Chain A
Amino acid sequence: MKWHGPSFRTTVVRLALIYISLFTVSTSVLFVSAYVLTLRAVDAGTDELMESQLQGLSEQYSVLGLRGLAAVIRERSQSLDRSRAVYLLADSTLHPIVGNLNAWPQLSQQRGKWFEFSVQVSTVKGMEQHPVRAALVMLPDDYRLLIGTDVIERSRLATVMQRAGALALVLIVLIGAAIAIWMNRRLLNQVQAIASAGQDIANGDFARRLPISGSGDELDELATGLNALLERIEQLTLALRFVIDGTAHDLRGPLNRLRMRLERLQDTVTSPAREQIDATLQDADTILHTLEALLRIAQAQSGSSGTEMASLNLGPLAHEVAELYAPLAEENGISLDATQLVTGAIMANRQLLAHAIANLLDNAVKYTPAGGHIRISVSEQDTTVTLQVADDGPGIPAVDRDRVLQRFVRLDSAQAEPGSGLGLSLVAAVCRFHHAQLSLQDAAPGLQVALYFPRTRSR
């Protein structure tokens, strides 16, 4: 059977894609959870610190009052470039009283009990926006206290982790793809070596074996198993050829002597013994004829040794055989059209092919009534060369078309015609020998036999 490369390649690519996405997804899950857990731990630390601050300041307030609280805050709050802690005490009009923020910030974003906003911080690199997490405490008389933390380190950590994650992901995809390509190429090479060996074997090179890489992998195991099978096939084929050649030889010898003796007897006797001998000779020739046909079919079928292929033009050969049958067709009142014959270069065995074409024309002439038409044509397509023999005789019913290609099958309607019933079987065997497709079609009315040969590319 023909090896279909592309479909396998897509399978391999699909497998590679599946592996890469599995890698990607699992790495992403791992990374995202690490990211979330880390940030959560950092936040928990910050929050704990602020909670304790809050608690401390609340205690200060309850002991020392607003004034005392302001004093503590003044003491604690330093410029933001040196401290992470943010303090701001404001009155009911949001006017700052004390703290290290110049103005009351927009408290629009709230997450849980924490507000988030950003402040301007002057650093060695210049002014920077820093995010702040803060808690708001309402004091009596509508005073309010904001206690927060500059969380720039947290957001830096988040950025670094995001970048690292993205980079890791890209690397994983690239490395995964590279490994997938390498492994697939190895696998593909191995499979293709097996496939091409298989193709050669199918084409009749029965001594060929599948390659074994020596790595002992599953493909090697498969190839070893198949090689054992091939060994067996080769033995059977050789045995078959031996039987074919042996049968040919062992039957021809005795048949030869039988024929010779009968021929020598022929002239020594008179009627009625003479008629008996004549009839016996005819039977011997019929046996011989059938034997020849069977042997030829067997030879074509087993790709027997000594049956060679050469490049040949189908059109001129069809013309020659048509020319051989033209007078016979005309004698029977049948027109034989052999005008549509292109060159049709193929690899073929001339004798086998000529025999097959002759059988097709023989059948056509036999089954086409007087006044009928037979057309033999050779045409070229992209990859095939087609030989067609069409007649407008009775044709073959669709249900019988497969059956007539088998050996010795003659349709009931054809029983009256002389012939061994091996004509089409030989055509079928010759087609197999040439890797040609044989198809029986309805010529409406009549039978059309089409042979599709692989075309030889001109170099």
Chain B
Amino acid sequence: MNILIIEDDLEAAALLQRTLHEHGYELAHAADGREGMERALQGKWDLIIADRMLPSMDGLSIVERLRSQGNRTPILILSALGNVDDRVRGLKAGGDDYLTKPYAFAELLARVEALLRRGQAEPASSQLSDCGVTIDLLARSVERDGKAVQLTAREFDVLVFLMRHARQVVTRKMLLEQVWDLHFDPQTNVIDVHMSRLRQALDRGASHALIHTVRGTGYMFGEQPL
């Protein structure tokens, strides 16, 4: 997996490269906007991580330029700007995800993985089936091992999101952003309570748990914990 990092903070870029490298990714780095743009067009990348504010050409312009040329490489925008609507603007420009600095490596890794897997997304279907759980997206019904599972509307959405990212870490922030469309940190950890309810409903009468807690980070759907 080849990732291009466009980041003018050299030390941050080095730390990021080292960490991603340890997780098995191949990396290249560009330190300013124009260079980043050139490399993005020349190479064959699975993912581009671009800082929002860059010398010579800012991150949003790079994203817009790439998209207007038909380049569909997943792009994760990193930003030191935390304005409420900056994220919206980043996604509108064509970014696939948006992360505000500072971030935890775990958060970044989870998003990198999610974006890379999205590249090889499953064909659109009205059914999701994994680990003995079947979801009918149209009827909004769930079965585990042939038995119906009763979920609230929101629990259903959370389960769909987890299953679409099966065997990947899903962070609390990702859930808040993508299931609830809320982009702030609640003072109390409200997500965990939702998750424990979803777990209870899903695991009732079953032999083993399918939703695992990833310490300090989030959750994962799958037969085995990480």
**Among candidates B9, B84, B188, residue contacting A366 with C-beta atoms closer than 8 Å:** B188
Q: Are B84 and A253 in contact (CB under 8 A)?
A: no
Q: Which residues of chain A have C-beta atoms less than 8 A from B180's C-beta?
A: 320, 324
Q: Are B9 and A327 in contact (CB under 8 A)?
A: no
How near does chain A come to B39, taking the closest CB pair, in angstroms?
23
Q: Are B194 and A351 in contact (CB under 8 A)?
A: no
Question: In whole angstroms, how far apart are the Cα atoms of A366 and B183 in the complex?
Answer: 21
Question: In whole angstroms, how far apart are the Cα atoms of A245 and B187 in the complex?
Answer: 23
Q: Which residues of chain A have C-beta atoms less than 8 A from B89's C-beta?
A: 306
Chain-B contact segment, one of A57-65, A143-151, A354-362: A354-362
Q: Are B12 and A260 in contact (CB under 8 A)?
A: yes
B interface majority secondary structure: loop
Size of B's binding interface in residues, CB under 8 A: 35
Q: Are B187 and A256 in contact (CB under 8 A)?
A: no
Q: Are B86 and A253 in contact (CB under 8 A)?
A: no
**Among candidates A253, A320, A355, A418, residue contacting B184 with C-beta atoms closer than 8 Å:** A355
How near does chain A come to B29, taking the closest CB pair, in angstroms?
15
Q: Are B84 and A307 in contact (CB under 8 A)?
A: yes
Question: B61 at the A/B interface (Cβ < 8 Å)?
Answer: no
Question: A448 at the A/B interface (Cβ < 8 Å)?
Answer: no
* Interface 1/0 per residue, A300-319 and B, CB below 8 Å: 00001111100000000000
Q: Which of B89, B101, B197 has the most CB of A within 10 A?
A: B101
What is the size category of the interface that chain A forms with chain B? 35 or more
Given contacts A351-B183, A352-B84, contact A256 B12 (CB under 8 A): yes
Interface hits, A84-118 → B, CB 8 Å: none
Q: Are B80 and A253 in contact (CB under 8 A)?
A: yes
Q: Which residues of chain B have C-beta atoms less than 8 A from A419's C-beta?
A: 187
Question: In whole angstroms, how far apart are the Cα atoms of A292 and B194 in the complex?
Answer: 25
Question: A288 at the A/B interface (Cβ < 8 Å)?
Answer: yes
Question: In whole angstroms, how far apart are the Cα atoms of A307 and B23 in the complex?
Answer: 37
Question: In whole angstroms, how far apart are the Cα atoms of A59 and B75 in the complex?
Answer: 133
Beta-carbon nearest neighbor of B182 in chain A:
A354
Question: A325 at the A/B interface (Cβ < 8 Å)?
Answer: yes
Question: B186 at the A/B interface (Cβ < 8 Å)?
Answer: yes
Chain-A contact segment, one of B13-21, B30-38, B128-136: B13-21
Q: Are B84 and A349 in contact (CB under 8 A)?
A: yes
Question: A299 at the A/B interface (Cβ < 8 Å)?
Answer: yes
**Among candidates B16, B85, B103, residue contacting A307 with C-beta atoms closer than 8 Å:** B85
How near does chain A come to B12, taking the closest CB pair, in angstroms?
5
**Among candidates A304, A352, A358, residue contacting B186 with C-beta atoms closer than 8 Å:** A358
Q: Which residues of chain B have C-beta atoms less than 8 A from A354's C-beta?
A: 182, 184
Q: Which residues of chain A have C-beta atoms less than 8 A from B18's C-beta?
A: 264
Interface hits, A274-329 → B, CB 8 Å: 284, 288-289, 292, 295-296, 299, 304-308, 320-321, 323-325, 327-328
Q: Are A248 and B81 in contact (CB under 8 A)?
A: yes
Q: Which of B81, B100, B188, B197 has the most CB of A within 10 A?
A: B188
Q: Are A327 and B102 in contact (CB under 8 A)?
A: no
Q: Which residues of chain A have C-beta atoms less than 8 A from B138's C-beta?
A: none
Q: Are B100 and A252 in contact (CB under 8 A)?
A: yes
Q: Are B80 and A263 in contact (CB under 8 A)?
A: no
Question: B121 at the A/B interface (Cβ < 8 Å)?
Answer: no
Given contacts A255-B101, A328-B190, contact A304 B83 (CB under 8 A): yes
Q: Are A264 and B19 in contact (CB under 8 A)?
A: yes
Beta-carbon nearest neighbor of A295 in chain B:
B82
Q: Are A328 and B193 in contact (CB under 8 A)?
A: yes
How near does chain A come to B199, taking the closest CB pair, in angstroms?
12
Question: In whole angstroms, how far apart are the Cα atoms of A154 and B150 in the complex?
Answer: 111
Q: Which residues of chain B have C-beta atoms less than 8 A from A304's C-beta?
A: 83
Interface hits, B172-189 → A, CB 8 Å: 180, 182-188
Question: A82 at the A/B interface (Cβ < 8 Å)?
Answer: no
Q: Are B82 and A327 in contact (CB under 8 A)?
A: no
Q: Are B104 and A349 in contact (CB under 8 A)?
A: no
Question: In whole angstroms, how far apart are the Cα atoms of A263 and B103 in the complex?
Answer: 11
Question: B25 at the A/B interface (Cβ < 8 Å)?
Answer: no
Q: Are A261 and B85 in contact (CB under 8 A)?
A: no
How near does chain B come to A287, taking the closest CB pair, in angstroms?
10
Q: Are B84 and A306 in contact (CB under 8 A)?
A: yes
Q: Are B102 and A306 in contact (CB under 8 A)?
A: no
Q: Which residues of chain B have C-beta atoms less than 8 A from A288's C-beta?
A: 102
Interface hits, B120-175 → A, CB 8 Å: 154
Question: A393 at the A/B interface (Cβ < 8 Å)?
Answer: no
Q: Which residues of chain A have C-beta atoms less than 8 A from B197's C-beta?
A: 327
Q: Are B183 and A263 in contact (CB under 8 A)?
A: no
Question: A428 at the A/B interface (Cβ < 8 Å)?
Answer: no
Question: In whole angstroms, how far apart are the Cα atoms of A362 and B82 in the complex?
Answer: 22
Question: In whole angstroms, how far apart are the Cα atoms of A352 and B187 in the complex?
Answer: 14
Question: In whole angstroms, how far apart are the Cα atoms of A378 and B19 in the complex?
Answer: 48
Question: In whole angstroms, how far apart are the Cα atoms of A305 and B81 in the complex?
Answer: 12
Q: Which of A253, A289, A327 has the most CB of B within 10 A?
A: A327
Further pairs besides A248-B80, A256-B101, A327-B193: 19, Cβ < 8 Å: A249-B53, A253-B9, A253-B12, A255-B101, A259-B104, A260-B15, A260-B16, A260-B105, A292-B184, A296-B84, A296-B184, A306-B85, A307-B85, A321-B182, A327-B194, A328-B190, A349-B84, A362-B186, A423-B187
11 contacts between A and B (CB under 8 A): A248-B82, A255-B102, A256-B101, A256-B102, A257-B9, A260-B12, A263-B105, A306-B85, A324-B190, A418-B187, A419-B187
Task: List residues of chain A with CB under 8 Å of any chain B CB.
Answer: 245, 248-249, 252-253, 255-261, 263-264, 284, 288-289, 292, 295-296, 299, 304-308, 320-321, 323-325, 327-328, 331, 349, 351-352, 354-355, 358-359, 362, 365-366, 418-420, 423
Q: Considering the complex of A and B, which 4 residue pairs feature the smallest CB-CB distances, nearest first?
A: A256-B102, A252-B80, A327-B193, A256-B101
